[in-house]
Each structure stands twice: as C-alpha cells, then as structure tokens.
Amino acid sequence: MKVVSYNVNGIRAAMNKGLIDWLSAVDADVVCFQEIKATEDQIDTEALRALGYAHQYYFSAEKKGYSGVAILSKNAPDNVVFGTGIAYMDREGRNLRADFGAFSVMSMYLPSGTNTDRLDYKFTYMDDFLEYAKQLTRDRSKLLVVGDYNICHEAIDIHDPIRNKNVSGFLPEERAWMSRFLESGFVDSFRVFNQDPHNYTWWSYRANARANNKGWRLDYAMASSDLAEHLKRSVILSEAVHSDHCPILTELS
C-alpha cells in the first residue's frame, strides 16, 4: 500500500498548478490532504474520481477557506471517523481517519503557532491530541498518522537551527512534545530509512528559500509501533511544487 500525505495549501489552487497530473503519475492507494481550504462542493471531485479515487472524504473547517483535511482512497475503507470528538479541534477540521481492516490512517493538520495568540492553542491541541492518540492505539494498534505537524523535531530537520531556536515550529517545548509523542509508541518513518540532513518538506515563499533549500521538515508519517514492521519505504517527494509544502510517501507491506 502506498500512502501519500500532502499539505496542498488550498486544494483548488494546487489543482490549478497540475496536482491532478501529478497524482496520476504517483498512483498512490491512499492520499491524505491537509489545508484543503475548501468544502467538498467547491472541489472538482470528478477529476479525482477519474484517477480511481472512488472514495473521497472531506472534513472542512467551519471557517470558510481555512484549514481542513481529506482522505482519498481507491478501495473502500471499513470505517471513517471525522474528527476526534474534541469540539475545539473539530471546528477547525484537523483530523480525519480511515480504517482498512486492521490498518488505520489519519490525516492530521496540527495548528501553527506562528501568531502569538495561537501558540497557547497549539500547545493545548498537542497535549489533547497526544492523549487521544494513546487511547486510539489501544483499539487501532496499526495506525499511521500523516500530515503537517508544524514542528521540526531535531536540528537536522531545519536549515538554521540556531537562528530559529525561538521561533514557533522549533521551540524547545514543541520539540519535547514530539519526543513524547514518539515515546508514546510511534516511529518517525522517514528517519527509519534516511538519517541525512537537508531533507525538508516546507519552504517559505520569501527570499528564494526553496531554490536554496532553506527549509523545514514539518510533514511526517508517524507509524505506531505495531505498524513499524510493515514499513517498506518512506520518502520526501520534493519535486512536487503545487504548494509551499511538498508531499511525503510511505509504502507499507
């Protein structure tokens, strides 16, 4: 099974930049989007269905043009869960899960804390999500949580760790939370296969950051411990340029 995760920073804009042709070439079994910034009726679902994604699930934010996640799959899931049941999270459309037999995949868009008034919100979300994930893996032990975590875990995951040490996304408290999340029973699938520096998934639109590879690794495929033995490949697809993020791909046996 091939699972792609992509923060598209507006699915309609990404589709106008060639997203459909790219998805056709990648031919993933499951596609998880974050930051779709649209409702289902605003999306060209037929173009996606023509690629074989007969099963499409959208969880949009209450606020128009904001946040939102989606899961597309070629095979029908047994069960789909919209949100976490935690009201403040679900109003922003940040979590969507699909179950395929014993395997589950969640598309997650963790809040950004770049605005000061949102940093406390981000920390609350992080703490509540960690507890939610711990409970969830008791019932769904083979779980893959993919998406934009809006955190660089280690210095290797950011182009300038010294200058960014006090910037949200690389704060000590955020990095410590990521460690706690992994310690709770998850593995960073990309780092299972690749320990090299300079691998990023997001670049600012400013100062020619992407061309100079001055990026941040914010997008992850976190596999539960029971799922880790099924990992075959986990890569960053940096050639895709439909967004300020690039997609990641995880292959499972």
The residue from 29, 148, 188, 219 that is catalytic is 148
The span from the CA of 187 to the CA of 226, in Å, is 10
Structure tokens at 55: 């099963």
The span from the CA of 112 to the CA of 36, in Å, is 15
Q: What is the CA radius of gyration of the chain?
A: 17
Tell me how many degrees the CA angle 228-232-234 measures, rounded to the nearest 5. 85
Q: How close are the terminal C-alpha atoms of the chain, in Å?
A: 6
Taking CB atoms within 8 Å and a gap of at least 24, the contacts of 224-227 are 224/137, 224/141, 224/142, 224/143, 224/144, 224/185, 224/186, 225/185, 225/186, 225/187, 226/137, 226/141, 226/142, 227/103, 227/141, 227/142, 227/143, 227/144, 227/252
From the list 248, 244, 250, the residue with the least C-alpha distance to 8 is 244
Is 148 catalytic? The answer is: yes
Instruction: Just list the catalytic residues.
Output: 148
